[in-house]
Amino acid sequence: MCACAGRCWHEMALRRCWRFAGVVPRMIWKSTVLPGASVPGGRGFVSSLINTHPGCKTTVLLPRRFSSEPAGTDVSYEELKQLLAARKSVVIDVREPWELREYGFIPGSINIPLGQVNTALQLAPEEFKEKFGADMPQQEDHIVFSCLAGVRSRNALKAATSLGYNDVQHYPGGWQDWTKNEQHK
């Protein structure tokens, strides 16, 4: 209980959530939040509930993001450069072919548009090579997905994970971050 003796909106909302008691313990983490503090991963709604009563110091349970992704799925520009130089990863650009022609691409990447990723990763290796001009990544290979700004690459990562690819990451900065960093060199 917080110092507000049950009058806080956040406590009332949490009590309603406990009906999902079998699921909630896996989905939440415990954090002490002081009024005015930022809430990691919190949204405006959560923050406004926590800051309802000024001066209230309380332990609040906050929901985590739901995700089937493994932890540590993001790759930075520097990490991607190292992976490409060492040839330790398969980099798959999930933008449309016209985007690569018009704007450019990361050298060494394979172009598989997002709409084809699920099907492509289930092809026979010979079919994959014929269609995409590269060896098909195996389920144990390290794969990094890239796109323009990280949205489509995250979706591709989820698709690959659902197909059993475990060593997958994505480059959230995408082509925009790549060109910015390459111009500074």
Residue 24 falls inside a structural domain: yes
User: Per the structure, how many domains does the chain have?
Assistant: 2
Dump pLDDT digits (tens) for 84-114.
999 889 999 999 999 999 999 999 999 999 9
> What is the C-alpha to C-alpha distance for residues 117 and 95, in angstroms, rounded to an integer?
11
Digit-coded pLDDT (tens) for 103-160: 999 999 999 999 999 999 999 999 999 999 999 999 999 999 999 999 999 999 999 9
Assigned domain for 108 exists: yes
Alpha helices in the chain (DSSP H): 9-17, 24-27, 44-50, 77-86, 97-103, 114-120, 125-132, 151-162, 174-183
Q: Are residues 87 and 169 in the same domain?
A: yes
Assign residue 94 the CATH number of its domain.
3.40.250.10
- The Cα–Cα gap between 24 and 127 comes to 44
Two tokens at 63? Answer: 């929901």
What are the pLDDT digits (tens) for 27-52?
333 334 444 444 444 433 333 333 34
Residues 83 and 59 in one domain: no
Known catalytic residues are 147
Residue 81 and residue 58 share a domain: no
Kindly state whether residues 161 and 81 are assigned to the same domain: yes
Look at residue 44 in the predicted model and tell me its pLDDT: 38
> In this structure, are 19 and 54 located in the same domain?
yes
Q: Could you tell me the two tokens for 22?
A: 């079998």
| Residue 78 confidence (pLDDT) | 94
Q: Residue 53 is part of which domain span?
A: 9-63
More confident call, 64 vs 10:
10
Confidence label for 4 from pLDDT (cuts 50, 70 and 90): low
Between residues 168 and 59, which one has the greater pLDDT? 168
d(CA 160, CA 69): 10
- pLDDT score recorded for residue 184: 80
pLDDT tops 60 at residue 66: no
